[in-house]
Amino acid sequence: MLEIENLKVHFPLPSGQTVRAVDGLTLKIAPGETMGLVGESGSGKSTVGKAALRLVDSTSGVIRIGDLDVTKARGRQMRKLRSRAQMVFQDPHSSLNPRMTIRRAVAEGLILNTSLRGKALRDKVAEMLEAMGLPAQFHDRFPHELSGGQKQRVCIARALALDPELLVLDEPTSALDVSVQAQILRVLRSLHEARPELTQLFISHNLAVVRFLCQSVAVMYLGRIVEMGPVDRVFDAPSHPYTKALLSAVPVPEATRRPDRIRLQGDIPSPTALPTGCAFHTRCPIAKKDVCNVQEPPRIELQDGRLVRCHFALGSAPE
């Protein structure tokens, strides 16, 4: 359903430097699949989601949603793209127009992209809001009259109103309180059960949430996928040292704390000056200078179907 090949998204700066937010990313999501995209802040996750929907332009590469080439879409094709793919943003407070009632906010996309009007339009909007747990007494309220969780439900209802084939969710729970996060996660879980044909790209830094919602996961570091595969296989037996470090950093109770926790040294490098060779070698606990500092790791397919970029993925370094 979503196919991205060698995507690069670079942003030039007035200083002459270039931010290489996404730098050669490749992934595929099957119809009906929910894929989690995880990594540290600054790894380029949100840029991938925005590029997939042409909210930012790509520098090079190919993005396809079904049979539609997103990077070449113009005019009517762009309108078709907006109907086929929608996005739920991280902050529901800034995602809604404060001058619009939530009824109007959900109806706007339908007015622009469908022929629904009058009673049929009102019924469709009511159906979408009520499916998100917002009955009729909420429909004429303005965003400031709703809680954070209710606003995010409105955003999800607005995204689903056009019956999209692809839904990109950019950390949809991170701006909410923990109790509200649980409500939204239940909504998203029920969404997968109600619409099994809907393909989703779920961007998050919360690994527990990804494991709860997703069938597959892609681990991103400095603009590239370093490991990708079925979520249980990646989380239960990670192959890339960065994936291992992310999983070992997940908080656990004191009584069950693991003695093998991996503590990465330093911060993620600047995307304006990417390291040579393997981008992770500056923080990797198993890196070898004569290999990792010089050679870019190949994309290796393991026997269980996972894809990983690491010189040591198969247990030994290249000659």
Domains of the chain by start residue, with CATH: 2-309 (3.40.50.300)
Q: Could you tell me the pLDDT band of residue 227, with boundaries at 50, 70 and 90?
A: very high
pLDDT above 90 (res 41): no
* Total H helices, total E strands in the chain: 11, 12
CA-to-CA distance for 273 and 43, rounded, in angstroms? 13
CA-to-CA distance for 9 and 285, rounded, in angstroms? 29
Instruction: Please answer whether residues 30 and 229 qualify as being in contact, where contact means their C-beta atoms are separated by less than 8 angstroms.
Output: no
In this prediction, residue 49 carries a pLDDT of: 95
Q: How many CA atoms lie within 13 A of 99 on its CB side?
A: 0
In this prediction, residue 176 carries a pLDDT of: 79
**DSSP one-letter code for 25:** E
CA-to-CA distance for 300 and 305, rounded, in angstroms? 10
Q: Could you tell me the pLDDT band of residue 232, with boundaries at 50, 70 and 90?
A: very high
Helices (H), the chain: 45-52, 76-84, 92-95, 102-113, 118-131, 148-160, 178-194, 207-213, 231-236, 241-248, 289-292
In this prediction, residue 254 carries a pLDDT of: 56
Q: 154-187: per-residue pLDDT in tens?
A: 999 999 999 999 999 999 888 778 878 888 888 8
Q: Which segment, 66-80, 223-237, 245-259, is predicted with the most confidence on average?
A: 223-237
In this prediction, residue 192 carries a pLDDT of: 81
pLDDT above 90 (res 262): no
In this prediction, residue 253 carries a pLDDT of: 61
